[in-house]
């Protein structure tokens, strides 16, 4: 059984029932051949918090839909200020040491709500798609070039259609 930790930022004003999230994440892990005891932490935040995280870890001072923090893979830093050494980040220790931590996702419900209203798509479906997207990043997928983006998008759509 996977270990899914879901947290909500205290400043969050958008209501979201996260009960379905632990139901489909094990299926995503299975499709990706991840150990069933894999652990993931998901933090739901507002645009202010995601912009703060985006600025600190990517050098981009604006909100985004999702950020992925992996102990195994790193992303690109676009800022000009000197970045803290990311290899010194210590990921949280949890009570069950048999769990494999794949990483952390920070998701802006405010950003996704606006995005889903503008695109006229279902809010919960967009969250599911972005969780898949984030887990793919935690698994080493990226979209820095056209070839990688195509590969990641195909895998994301495949998983979305399977769960």
Mean pLDDT of 137-145: 88
Question: Residue 87: its pLDDT value, please?
Answer: 46
More confident: 117 or 18:
117
Mean pLDDT of 17-34: 90
Rg (CA), the chain: 15
Does position 94 have pLDDT exceeding 70, yes or no?
no
100: closest CA among 124, 119, 74, 72? 72
DSSP, residue by residue, 32-65: TT--TTEEEEEEEE-HHHHHHHHHHHHS--S--S
Question: Residue 89: its pLDDT value, please?
Answer: 42
Confidence of residue 144 (pLDDT cuts 50, 70, 90): confident
The domains of the chain are located at 3-162
Question: Residue 45: its pLDDT value, please?
Answer: 93
Helix 21-31 / helix 123-138 crossing angle, nearest 10 deg: 40
Mean pLDDT of 76-101: 52
Q: Which DSSP state fits 150?
A: H
pTM for the full model? 0.82
Question: Residue 3: its pLDDT value, please?
Answer: 87
> Is residue 71 classed as helix, strand or coil in its secondary structure?
coil
Q: How far apart are CA 110 and CA 74, in angstroms?
A: 25
Does position 95 have pLDDT exceeding 80, yes or no?
no
**Pair 68, 131: CB distance under 8 Å:** no
Confidence of residue 75 (pLDDT cuts 50, 70, 90): low
The mean-pLDDT minimum among 43-47, 71-75, 106-110 falls in 71-75
Average pLDDT in the chain: 83
How many other CB atoms sit within 10 Å of the CB of residue 89?
A: 10
Within 19-145, residue ranges assigned H as helices are 21-31, 47-58, 109-119, 123-138
Percent of the chain with pLDDT over 90: 51
Q: How far apart are CA 108 and CA 47, in angstroms?
A: 6
CATH topology of domain 3-162: Collagenase (Catalytic Domain) (3.40.390)
Q: Residue 32, class by beta-carbon neighbours within 10 Å (0-12 exposed, 13-18 middle, 19+ buried)?
A: middle
Count of CA atoms in the C-beta half-sphere (13 A) of 123 = 15
Count of CA atoms in the C-beta half-sphere (13 A) of 96 = 13
Per-residue pLDDT of 116-137, as tens digits, reads 999 999 999 999 999 999 999 9
């Amino acid at each position: 059984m996977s270990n899914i930790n879901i947290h909500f930022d205290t400043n969050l004003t958008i209501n979201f029932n996260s009960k379905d999230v632990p139901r489909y994440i094990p299926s995503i892990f299975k499709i990706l051949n991840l150990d069933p005891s894999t652990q993931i932490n998901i933090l739901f935040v507002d645009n202010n918090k995601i912009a703060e995280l985006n600025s600190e870890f990517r050098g981009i001072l604006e909100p985004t839909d999702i950020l992925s923090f992996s102990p195994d893979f790193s992303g690109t830093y676009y800022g000009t200020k000197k970045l803290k050494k990311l290899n010194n980040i210590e990921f949280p220790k949890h009570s069950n040491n048999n769990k494999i931590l794949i990483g952390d996702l920070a998701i802006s419900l405010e950003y996704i709500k606006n995005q889903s209203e503008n695109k006229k798509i279902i809010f919960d479906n967009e969250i599911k798609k972005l969780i898949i997207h984030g887990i793919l990043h935690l698994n080493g997928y990226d979209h820095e070039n056209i070839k990688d983006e195509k590969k990641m998008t195909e895998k994301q759509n495949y998983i979305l259609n399977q769960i």
